[in-house]
Structure formats: structure tokens, C-alpha cells
A = this chain, B = another copy of it.
């Protein structure tokens, strides 16, 4: 991978810097945007700490989870600035301010969700290519949804979560690895890797109200989005705990559910977060998202892997895909019940449905196309047995590179192979 990765990364960075030199300027004319800085920082933490640590649950893939997450996001926010700027820009220049930085961070989230579906099975070179392609299509779809359909999606249930999930699942379908049909021995967590993942869960959970409100129209809408998201997540969490115990034969909680399904309420409330649907409705949406997400992890992910040949490492379908669709549907319902008018925008259920449909369509088509490119032989995928293993791409401390313990020694000492 040595030269391929380095050369591609450097070429991309040089090209981006040149484009920044040609097009990008400061825009400090809208001083009201400066008050968004705390919201930006919350989103920023979600992207790098939240997504990064959420994926550290795998026992031998923590370096890649948090490291490649950082790489994708750092590249993606630059590319996203350009892609969103080309659509939103007035005249020849792309104007940068706090709000455009929030949107740049947002655009990386779609790629990071797709990364979750593919975690452990792709190379850094592949992820560079995916990041560029996905964010390009993401910006097109976002333009379509917000400018053409004039739909609302303040928390991006559709444009980020559903888009990122179905894009990633389509790539996973193309890159299907029959050799991973039986569970890979590295595809599991350790006690401490599960606690690391909770760092990601909690920072996502805590700052989700900022994510869903950051680009709201004004402070009034913003406060409603904060309140709705806060209570949706709280209800989602209690229901997730209840169901996690209920679906387990011994009644025990499952870390994978607590780490993921507790967040589904943030995804599902996204589209109508800034609508005055009342907190109890937000809590219903959050509770329903928990149900969908828990059942998805328990039953749908294994089914998709074995029958549909879609291997979804982190279960992004259950955290982002289904709750994202749920959010889109909630938006359709909310706009059909309330005849809500925004400044300069008239929301209709038809346009909300068009937004949902276009998002999933573009995500699936784009994912299949991207998957086909990532499959090109010279990109050099890792073999099945090297999946979920940092040591393929990282220098890892010695303790992880130990020779396997001879079988006659295993019974008494199983733990030492682990950490």
C-alpha cells in the first residue's frame, strides 16, 4: 500500500489546496453566524471523538477506527467545503464562515457512516476514494433536497444518516466477502474496547441536540430542535435498555445495543426536530426508533449478512438507515398534519417524500458505483484473514503481534491472547 496511499493522499491535498486558492474566501459579513461556534464545536467533537471512538469496539481495530476516522474527516471536511460551496456559492467564490464549517463537518458524517458498514474490510486507499466520491454525491443530493424539493431536514435524518447508511450498504454488497460468512475471530470486542466505544456513544448522545439544531433557521427553531432531541434521546435510551434485556434469552444487557440503539432517537427526530411537535411526540419517535434499532440489530443484520450478502460491521443500517427512514417518514407525517410555513418555504408532504426517495435512490446507486470502483484489483484489498486487524496497516505494539499460543496451553490462559 505504501506508495499508492501516500501519492493519492498528497495529490488530493495538493489539488484541494489549489482549488482553495482559486475559489475560497473568508466571509465575515454575517456576524450572527459567530454565535454558532459552540454548536460547531459540539458537532466537531461528534465527528472526530463520537464516530471515531464508537467504532473502537473491535478488539484489534482500534487504531484504524479512531485513526482512519480522523483521516476521512480531515480530508472530507476540505472536500465538503468545496462541493457544498460549488452548489451554495454565489458568483465565483466560496465563502467560509462558522456555518459553512458546520456543513463541512456534516458532509464528512455521511462518509463516516459508510465507513462503519465497511469497518475492517477496506484499505486506507479505498477509503480516500470513497470519501471523495461519497461527499460529491452527498452534496448533489443535499442540494436537490433543500434547494429543488425545498424539503426540511434540519437534523439530516435523510441527507446524512439514511444517505450514509444506504451508500455504505450498497458498497458492502459489491465488496461482499464470502470468506467472512463465518464469524471472523477478530470481529469481537474486549472488555476495555467496549468501554472505549462508550466514549464515542456518550459524546454523540450528549451533543446530538447541537447536531440537530446547528443549522436551524433562527434561535427559536434552534431551541425547539434542542428540546425535541433531548427528550427523544432520553426516551430512546430507557426503551433500548428495556428491550435489550427483553430480547436476550438470559435477560442480560448487550453492549452493542447500548452503544448504538440509544442513539437512534437522535437520528429519527432529525427531520422534524425543529417543528413544534411537542416533546411527547419527540419521545414517541425516540421510543419507536429504539424498537426498530434493537430489532434490527437482533434479527435484521444477521439476515442481511447471510441472505442478502450485505456485511454491515457496525450495524449502521440499524443506527442510521432504519431510523433515518423513520425520521423521513415522521417528517412527511408532521408536514401533512401541520400546515407549517417557514420563512420563504412552504413545506409539503409530497416534497418531503420526494426528498426521502431521492436520497435513498442516489445513495444506493452511488454506493453500487463506488463499490465497483473500490473493487478494482490494483487497489489491493486485504485478504479475508487480515480483516479487522490493525497490524496490516499500522505499526502495533509488540504485545498484539504475538504468535498464537500453542493449543495445549490454551485452556488455562485464554485471556492472554486478547490484550
Cβ-defined partner of A191 (8 Å) among B194, B230, B396: B396
Per the 8 Å Cβ criterion, residues 1-36 of A in contact with B are 1-3, 5-7, 9-10, 12-13, 16-18, 20-21, 24-26, 28, 31, 34
Copies in the complex: 3
B-chain residues with CB within 8 Å of residue A413 when the two chains form the complex: 405, 409, 412-413, 416
Q: Is there contact, CB below 8 Å, between B251 and A5? A: yes
In the complex formed, the residue of B with least CB distance to A96 is: B227
For chain A, residues 191 to 238, give those with C-beta under 8 angstroms from any C-beta of chain B. Answer: 191-192, 194-196, 198-199, 202-203, 205-207, 210, 219-220, 222-224, 226-227, 230-231, 233-235, 237-238
A414 within 8 A of partner (CB): yes
Is A262's CB under 8 angstroms from B202's CB? Answer: no
Interface-side segment among A151-159, A160-168, A279-287, A344-352: A279-287
Query: In the complex the two chains form, what is the Cα distance from A63 to B189 in whole Å?
Result: 13
Contact yes or no, B71 A238, CB < 8 A: yes
Neighbour of A198 across the interface among B66, B393, B402, B419, CB < 8 A:
B66
Cβ of A148 within 8 Å of any chain B Cβ, yes or no, is no
Which of A72-80, A169-177, A333-341 contacts its partner? A72-80
A287 to B222, alpha carbons, bound, how many Å? 36
Q: Are B6 and A242 in contact (CB under 8 A)?
A: yes
Closest to A94 in B: B279
The 6 tightest CB contacts between A and B, nearest first, are A2-B251, A74-B237, A21-B280, A9-B242, A20-B280, A6-B246
